[in-house]
Chains A and B, each alone.
Chain A
Amino acid sequence: MNQELSSGFTIAANAPIAVALAISALLFVIGLVGFLCRRNMIIMFLCTELMFQGAALAMIAFARLRMDVSGQVFVIFILTVAAAEAALALALVVLLYRKRETLSADAWSDLGES
């Protein structure tokens, strides 16, 4: 492991790739913070989409680093999954909204312990 890390571990061959990686991390973390903080259910899902963005950007950056197109192919699949998930999630959110007439996530804590 020592060998691999010190000799074969190239993080960023040039600056743009490094910046892209940093941005992907920031996007992911901002999405995480937003998911934890916002109480509007739809905006919570939007923040998960932001996390997807971060992950996708990291994929692209590494595809560029390794000159391999597989990363980009994977981003296409991420897109697919995000679309499917967004459709179903929004349908469920609408159903929940109709039950309680509010988009607040605090309305749904029936499964709590206390």
Chain B
Amino acid sequence: MTQLTSIPQAIIAPELSWVGLALLLPLLAAVACALCCALRVKGKAAAIITILALAASFGIIVKAYFAYTGPVQVPIFQWITFHWGTGRFQSFTANCGMYIDTLTLYWMLFVTGLGTLISIYASEYMEGDCGAGYSRFFFGICVFLFSMSALVLGDNLIMLYLGWEGVGLASYLLIGYDYARPAAVAAGKKAFIMNRIGDLGLALGIFMLWANYGTLQYSELFAAMNKGGQTSVNWDLSVIPFLLMLGAFGKSAQIPLFTWLPDAMEGPTPVSALIHAATMVTAGVYLIARMYPFFELHPQALATVAWVGGLTALLAATIGMAQYDIKRVFAYSTISQLGYMFLGLGVGTTFGACYHTLTHAFFKALLFLTAGAIMHGFAGQLDLRKLSGLRHLPGWRIVSWTMLVGCLWLSAFPYTAAFFSKDAILLKALTSVRADFRFLGWLGLFTAALTAYYTFRVWFRVCAGPLHFEPGAEGHHEPHDTHDTHDTHGKPDPASVAKSTHAFHPHAPRWAINGVLLILALGALVVGVPAYNKAFAHKDNWAQQMIAGSSAMEGAGLAEDHGAEASEQHPTVLGMDAHTGLTVVGCTASIGGILVAWYLHLRSRKSADQLRAALLRRWWIRWVPICMENKWYVDEIYHACFRLPMWLGAQILSFGDRHFLDGVMVDGLAKIPVAVGKVFKPLYGGALQGYAATMAGGIALVVAWLSWVWLRGFN
């Protein structure tokens, strides 16, 4: 392992406490939304409050960005401080404060920015629930933003944990927003419980950190690492990264804790966009980036992260290829892209991972919001077999074209921003000294091809081709004049003819939704600028500089652009120079995937069905589509491994409780006096002399005992 370069030391700057308003404003907005909910305010007051608060937070972060001079630690107020001695390990401090370095600002910029935009989107999206539900939704959003800010801005691990739990709570509340639906409630519970399993790892990691370093403040931890942070042979030091990564896996939906994310799509689409695509799931990435020096403590820690990320990316991509629900496809693609980020962290490029986080946030939010617009307009219809050719509908053009932008970015189409970010990750992987990282790099390239395929499967199915749509289950049919649902191209579909007699009118999105979609598409372009600067103008990559100035500097790769330590040999990919080779292979993967999707889903859609039928016919390959469609039976495996034994155990314990504890012990104990009474019942025959005889016998016995036993003791 290379010697760690020194992490920049944070200075204490109380004059920057106005940045704490970015924490406080969402909290106040949450209180205001709760008041709106309690007072049953009708109308969009809660949305306006939220948007204003979040925009103000974004403004404060921007101001802080421009006022930034170096890493600072800003105390806000004293929260947990107690000590029982004067030594290093005899105090515990976790005050409310902020640790602001470039990584913080980098993260907060897109968190607050996307939060504001998505709140604007949600103000129109959720308008069907005006009243208590509306305010409750925005209350959840504000709680989430507050927690995420605490997580990112906090200056010690306890504030991070507070934010961690808070985002989990907000996620649970928002997934189960429609609490009347059991599927949503179950999904919320599943998300929360799986997060908790990961949180256990995080908590234990925090304990171990405190046990070894005596402090939980970032500044002090980094100072300790600066002094002597080498790989350790002590188990309690080297287990820290594994525990922390378990927490990250839970929050960011990696193997083995990823099944909650697709189910979390039961929540409203703005929630899916904000929380489960752009911000909450990146908390794991943030954790590893922030605590990156500590991941050097065990030589295999980062390798584990890389392997988990790579395998997750592949697995999720294969599942996404076989799903029919648009949101589910995007959910699996989120898991897959997060896998890329973890892969990047693992192979050693924190810059690649964090830059991919930024680009992914934009295009994934964009994609989810377009899916939400479709859902909103087509009464909940999200099955891509039932929607087609939407770009021909008036009022849906913005949705279709912004969705195309998002899809291009997701497929890492050449020279899009995501292309560069994915390129950064794969470059580091493919040029690594370790053979297994190189294998992971090729795996990542294969996954990129799959990604392009399933992404454009969605776009070609939904937005291109003949016009056809069926409303979803949430529609209320209005009597309208019959609407022409056919196109001049294809044959009229009998089902849609039947539906058209009901005259379903899709509800086109208005300015709030369209505007946000446009801004996000623009943003996706803008985040590519640092990469363009680097690639074409040979200026410095802004994102890379931001990462390099923080605790994740080790992977920023400023010193060496080619990755790894300086070697005599210039690394190659397929015999070409690394950059060029990767560009070629990447372009091939992306465009190849798009072409396959074009053929199977636009040019001749029947061939997709024929291919699937052909695969199913051959016994040696039919397991592939079946497993992919059934999500590789992961949920079923978990059910069998964990839930079933627990259910069995619960049945056994319940049986034991009913029959043993209740039956034998409680009822049995109750039966003892009854039985004893039955024994003595004949004594109470009612005859006076019977009682007298009992008394006399008793007196005789007592007297006998007294004389023979008690008094003997005295003689």
List the interface of chain A (C-beta within 8 A of B).
1-2, 5-6, 32, 35-37, 39, 44, 105-106, 108-114
Contacts and interface: CB of A to CB of B under 8 A. Distances in A.
A96 to B, nearest CB: 11
Contacts of A108: 686, 688
26 contacts: A2-B714, A2-B715, A6-B715, A35-B689, A35-B692, A36-B689, A36-B692, A36-B696, A37-B689, A39-B689, A44-B688, A44-B689, A105-B688, A106-B687, A108-B686, A109-B685, A109-B687, A111-B686, A112-B684, A112-B685, A112-B686, A112-B687, A113-B682, A113-B684, A113-B685, A114-B685
Would you list the 4 A-B pairs with minimal beta carbon distance, nearest first?
A112-B686, A109-B686, A113-B684, A112-B685
A58 B696 CA distance: 19
* B688, B693, B714, B715: residue with the most chain A Cβ atoms closer than 10 Å: B688
Contacts of B685: 109, 112-114
A80 B696 CA distance: 25
Given A2-B714, A112-B686, A114-B681, 6 more contacts: A6-B715, A32-B696, A105-B687, A105-B688, A108-B688, A113-B682
A37 B689 CA distance: 8
Contacts of A113: 681-682, 684-686
B684 A105 contact: no
B707 to A, nearest CB: 12
Contacts of B681: 113-114
A111 B687 CA distance: 8
Interface in B662-705: 681-682, 684-689, 692-693, 696
A41 to B, nearest CB: 9
Nearest to A6: B715
Interface residues of B, number: 13
A6 B686 CA distance: 46
Contacts of A106: 687
Contacts of B689: 35-37, 39, 44, 105
Given A108-B688, A109-B687, A36 B693 contact: yes
Contacts, number: 40
Interface string B79-93: 000000000000000
A26 to B, nearest CB: 15
A5 B685 CA distance: 42
Contact of A114 (B682, B688, B692, B696): B682
B497 to A, nearest CB: 86
Nearest to A109: B686
A51 to B, nearest CB: 11
Nearest to A33: B696
A113 B302 CA distance: 82
Contacts of A109: 685-687
Contacts of A112: 684-687
Contact of A110 (B686, B692, B696): B686
Given A36-B693, A113-B681, A5 B714 contact: yes
Nearest to B696: A32
Nearest to B688: A105
A5 B715 contact: yes
A110 B684 CA distance: 11
Contacts of B684: 112-113
Nearest to A39: B689
Nearest to B715: A5
A86 B14 CA distance: 102
A2 to B, nearest CB: 5
A113 B682 CA distance: 7
A82 to B, nearest CB: 18
A107 B681 CA distance: 20
Contacts of B688: 44, 105, 108
B396 to A, nearest CB: 89
B709 to A, nearest CB: 15
A22 to B, nearest CB: 16
B642 to A, nearest CB: 57
A5 B684 CA distance: 40
Contacts of A39: 689
Contacts of A114: 681-682, 685
B7 to A, nearest CB: 85
Contacts of B693: 36
A109 B684 CA distance: 10
A96 B54 CA distance: 97
B687 A1 contact: no
Interface in B415-438: none
Contacts of A6: 715
B110 to A, nearest CB: 85
A78 B685 CA distance: 32
Contacts of B692: 35-36
A10 to B, nearest CB: 16
Nearest to A41: B688
Contacts of B714: 1-2, 5
* A32, A36, A39, A44: residue with the most chain B Cβ atoms closer than 10 Å: A36
A112 B696 CA distance: 19
A88 B696 CA distance: 24
A102 B686 CA distance: 17
A39 B714 CA distance: 42
A62 to B, nearest CB: 19
B633 to A, nearest CB: 68
A109 B689 CA distance: 10
B346 to A, nearest CB: 82
A114 B678 CA distance: 11
B405 to A, nearest CB: 92
Contacts of B687: 105-106, 109, 112
